[in-house]
Chain A
Amino acid sequence: MKVLVPVKRVIDYNVKARVKPDQTGVDLANVKMSMNPFCEIAVEEAVRLKEKGVATEVVAVSIGPQQAGETLRTALAMGADRAILVQTTEDLEPLAVAKVLAAIIGKETPDLVIMGKQAIDGDNNATGQMLATLLDWPQATFASALEVSGKKAKVTREVDGGLQTLEIDLPGIVTADLRLNEPRYASLPNIMKAKKKELAVEELASLGVDTAPRLKVVKVTEPPKRSGGIKVESAADLVSKLKTEAGVL
């Protein structure tokens, strides 16, 4: 069984995004970039499927500039077998990403796609669902557990107020939530090995996919700042202030 894992290079999880003074976007110059945390979880899950003998091949795909190749090397170091970079300097919207992935999937014909539920830059939470729709494959989003047997996958999903379990026929799309697993750190020997693994580069234009943006970014601004408040001396002081000053008790 072949598993395909799309990954995205984003601002590092621990870095605070800063808005550019000209309000055209977020300043990414000289900012630490990493693999989107939900994509890491997806890679980990795919690699575990391979270690269990369920998957035979794990292919990582990224769409982005040349530097997204580094993100793919991380996926390879975690245990993916090979990688495909769809190279572009355009910033693609989720619908366009889904269309590009659908084109790649058309060539690669994986049995399962595991991807992060959302990227922490755009926070859209849309690409996996769109991809499933375009391919007419079943979807199981926000997965916290995944069990593959034969041509079926049983997926436990995080829903409001609890858990839902679905069974989907493969090929299908699973999007990873936080508790699916805890991703490994790539070991030094594996990082070295990853440098020798295949990383194919395709130009976005060669795929012939319509990636024209549908949304125009008018401006990007800082959210209104919350001013820090006061320190209270004791729990009793706190309760009295909440009661009389804030009026919330």
Chain B
Amino acid sequence: MAVLVIADHDNATLKDNTEKTVTAALKLSSDVDVLVAGKGAKAVADAAAKITGVRKVLLAESDELGEGLAESMEALVVPLMANYDAVLTPATSQGKNFSPRIAAKLDVAQISEITDVVDGSTFVRPIYAGNALETVQSSDAKKVITVRATAFKAAADGGSAKVETIPAPAKPAKTHFIDQKLVKSARPELSGAKIVVSGGRAMGSAEEFQKVIEPLADKLGAAVGASRAAVDAGYAPNDYQVGQTGKVVAPELYIAIGISGAIQHLAGMKDSKVIVAINKDADAPIFQVADYGLVADYKTAVPELMAALTAAGK
């Protein structure tokens, strides 16, 4: 069986979700190809060709693929599936947008956000915000899968696959790209960061969130996250959101500040290696999953933490 992995990238660089998804794909088959769909993405294809275990890289380029239009992605991938038994896509907002279309077109189920591969047709995936793990067996001839990348180790570099250019599909007729505004940040990306500092509703305002959370994150070289409550209250943008309805992260160190630990938030961060919670409510559920808990008001604890980090040479 041959497997196609769809690369996650921003047209300039390959994201490590791709290497992680390749690891999942290699559990299914040793014949793994990577598709890079974008615009001006040759460097991304070259990077993908270096992933150990990749047989071949397919590169397709057009304006619409660069914009990530779901209709274009589906039109590109569906014909390719004549040559593959499975397609694996990292479960990013982009992947979640187009992957179900491929499944619908092929008339198969999508197996969403797998966290483990049991065998060629059996997979584990979280349901109910990660409060349960479902093992499902697919009876479809072709498998369309999205992969929760944080559950897999990144495949190493060391390969030298060929890059083959393939034609891009025609422009979609009924969907028109207007613009895209990406937040430019010097901080690491939330889903791949080694350290994440998150703030909750206790911050009380967007100004306070920026004043408290961001300097601490910058001191640690960390990404900034937020609870849904903080996002709903407008203290932080939605793409900071960690949880069932936001991003799922699994950093080495997760620092939750003023976050009570609602079920939906825990779903997004409980696989972190080390969890630190700072909250003034000693009964907050976040302490049940935290490796290190500090019962204190963040207003005094965060400045002290900054000072302690400085003293420790950070």
Residues of A within 8 A of B (CB): 11, 13-14, 16-19, 26, 37-38, 93-95, 98, 118, 120-134, 137-142, 144, 154, 158-169, 172, 177-179, 182, 214-223, 226, 228-232, 234-236, 238-243, 246, 248-249
- Contact with A243, one of B98, B110, B130, B312 (Cβ below 8 angstroms): B312
In Å, the complex CA distance between A14 and B163 comes to 49
Within 8 A of A (CB), among B70-123: 70-71, 74, 92-94, 96-101, 103-105, 107-113, 122
Given A139-B70, A162-B239, are A242 and B274 also a contact pair (CB < 8 Å)?
yes
In the bound assembly, the distance between CA atoms of A235 and B308 in angstroms comes to 7
Given that A124-B110, A161-B189, A238-B292 are known contacts, is A129 also in contact with B98, CB under 8 Å in the complex? yes
Residue contact A172 to B174, C-beta cutoff 8 Å: yes
Q: Is B270 within 8 A of A166, CB to CB?
A: no
Which residue of A has the minimal Cβ distance to B220? Answer: A249
B70's partner among A129, A131, A177, A232 (CB-CB below 8 A) is: A129
**By the criterion CB–CB under 8 Å, are A242 and B276 in contact?**
yes
For the complex of A and B, 3 pairs with smallest distance between CB atoms: A229-B291, A235-B304, A17-B128
Contact indicator B231/A120 (Cβ below 8 Å): no
Q: How far is the CA of A241 from the CA of B107 in the complex (A)?
A: 53
Cβ of B139: which chain A residues have Cβ within 8 Å of it? 214-216
Q: Are B132 and A214 in contact (CB under 8 A)?
A: no
Main SS of chain B's interface residues?
Answer: mixed
Of B99, B178, B273, B294, which contacts A234 at CB under 8 A? B294
Given A118-B245, A138-B174; 19 other pairs, CB 8 A cutoff: A17-B131, A126-B110, A129-B70, A139-B70, A141-B97, A158-B93, A160-B94, A160-B189, A162-B182, A164-B180, A216-B138, A219-B134, A231-B293, A234-B308, A239-B309, A240-B308, A242-B274, A248-B274, A249-B220
15 CB < 8 A contacts A-B: A14-B263, A17-B131, A19-B132, A26-B127, A95-B104, A120-B244, A126-B99, A129-B96, A167-B178, A178-B245, A218-B136, A226-B288, A231-B292, A232-B292, A242-B276
Asked whether A230 lies within 8 Å of B309 as measured between CB atoms, the reply is: no
- Chain B residues, CB < 8 A from A168: 174-176
Q: Does B30 contact A (CB under 8 A)?
A: no
Q: Which of the residues B109, B174, B182, B253 comes within 8 Å of A215, measured between beta carbons?
A: B109
Instruction: Kindly state the separation between the CA atoms of A104 and B214 in the bound complex, as whole angstroms.
Output: 49
Q: Tell me the minimal C-beta distance from B72 to chain A in angstroms.
A: 12
Cα-based distance from A169 to B253 in the complex (angstroms): 45
Give Cα A19–Cα B180 distance, bound, in whole angstroms: 41
Contact A166 B178 (CB under 8 A): yes
B281 to chain A, nearest CB (A): 13
- Interface centre among B94, B245, B263, by most chain A C-beta atoms within 10 angstroms, is B245
How many chain B residues touch the partner (CB < 8 A)? 94
Interface residues of B (CB under 8 A from A): 10, 67-71, 74, 92-94, 96-101, 103-105, 107-113, 122, 126-140, 172-183, 189, 191, 195, 220, 228, 231-232, 238-239, 241, 244-245, 252-253, 263-264, 270, 273-276, 287-296, 301, 304-305, 307-309, 311-312, 314
- CB <8 Å contact, B129 and A123: yes
Return chain A residues, CB-CB under 8 Å to B71: 138-139
A221 to B136, CA, bound (A): 12
Do residues B133 and A235 form an inter-chain contact, with CB atoms below 8 A?
no
Q: How far is the CA of A232 from the CA of B305 in the complex (A)?
A: 12
Query: Of A98, A121, A142, A216, which one neighbours B104 at CB under 8 angstroms?
Result: A98
- Assembly CA distance A238 to B131 (angstroms): 29
Min CB distance, A183 to chain B, in Å? 12
Instruction: Name the B residues within 8 Å of A242 (CB-CB).
Output: 253, 274, 276, 292
